[in-house]
Amino acid sequence: MKVLWDGAVCLEKGPERLYLDPKRRRPQAIVTHAHLDHMVEGAVMTPQTRDIMVARSGREDFPARVVPLDGRSAVGGFEVELSEAGHVLGSAMVKADDTLYTGDFNTFTGITCGAAAPRKCDTLVIEATYGSPRFVLPDQEGVVSDLLSWMESGLEEGSVILGSYEFGKAQDLVALANSIRAPVVVPDRIGAICDVYRRHGVTQDCTPLSRAGDVLLGSPHVLVTSRRELKHPVPEHIGRYRRKGAAAAFVSGWTAFMNYGNSHDIDVQFPFSNHCDFNRIMDFVERCSPRKVYTVHGSCEALAAEIRSRLGIDAEPLE
């Protein structure tokens, strides 16, 4: 089997081609999760991913072929298996013959989805979001503990605003706020995704803004919202929260490497990520024991060089 780049990762076996996370519709494709850059119709995906596609697109008829996590299926001339990627609800790694494609993945999670586990393979195609040695995150359990302590302290004084990505991180934050029994309010678009999580058995106790009454909004609560609503200049409703003394934080792995304090109306930032950092990527590669590694999506050249030098495994950027 050949591994190619054709606007996306492409597996080629004889006359057959399988596209992984393409940007546009392809005859045979697999979409690993429902972030907006993966919303391709007609692809193979998990039932959770399909349901989130429906919620985000507003299309009940969103066309997809559903294969469950840990399920196997023939896709054209390929026998594929989907397994937990640990990135967001429904995210999947793809095993096709002896090639493993991670998509976006995380070996530290457990808040609202499982964790990615290494799998023996001959060829590994791995994402490189944090593929440079400089991208080492602080201990994630410690970050979560600090975030919970900050939320509890803030709620003693008033409300708390958490800015993040609308799908995946936002639902993790709702679950964390639930763990300290804090009332949670979310914009309706985040609430629609939380509804999908609930249908798939993940606790998401929150109230959409359109249904939040004066009693809830007038008492201390956690507002989980999108990152863009904390960017300067903030929208009026965020301004009202801040004028009333609400504390605000931005939650993203990138805050370990960049200061968002000047561009965002925040008091603090927490480096919690849904991706593996450099050390976890390297550990994953070593435990998969591949003969060949291709790196995609991020610090591709840096990661390939580190895999060659540290692990002695043949590696090259695919893009």
Write out pLDDT tens, residues 284-303. Answer: 999 999 999 999 999 999 99
pLDDT in tens, 211-255: 999 999 999 999 999 999 999 999 999 999 999 999 999 999 999
Same domain, 207 and 243: yes
Give me the CATH number covering residue 258. Answer: 3.40.50.12650
Same domain, 31 and 117: yes
Same domain, 233 and 284: no
Residue 122: the pLDDT is: 98
Q: β-strand 9-13 against 268-270: which pairing, if any?
A: unpaired
Mean pLDDT of 97-123: 94
Same domain, 207 and 304: no
Same domain, 104 and 196: no
Q: Does the model's pTM come out above 0.85?
A: yes
Same domain, 153 and 262: yes
Question: Where does a domain end: 254, 270, 286?
Answer: 270
Same domain, 37 and 114: yes
Give me the CATH number covering residue 306. Answer: 3.60.15.10
Same domain, 87 and 175: no
Which domain, by its residues, includes 212? 140-270
φ/ψ of 124, rounded to 5, equals -120, 125
Question: In Å, what is the CA distance from 193 to each residue of 81, 169, 201, 289?
Answer: 26, 11, 13, 36
238, two tokens: 């965020």
DSSP annotation of 39: -
pLDDT in tens, 131-174: 999 999 999 999 999 999 999 999 999 999 999 999 999 999 99
| Count of structural domains, the chain | 2
* Rounded-to-integer distance, Cα 316 and Cα 129, Å: 15
Question: Where does a domain end: 270, 289, 305?
Answer: 270
Nearest partner of 165 among 103, 39, 255, judged by Cα: 255
Question: How many Cβ atoms are within 10 Å of 3's Cβ, its own excluded?
Answer: 19
Same domain, 124 and 178: no
Residue 138: the pLDDT is: 97
Same domain, 186 and 65: no
Question: Where does a domain end: 234, 253, 270?
Answer: 270
Confidence of residue 308 (pLDDT cuts 50, 70, 90): very high
Same domain, 64 and 96: yes
Look at residue 283 and give its three-state secondary structure: helix
Same domain, 255 and 279: no
How big is the chain, counted in residues?
319
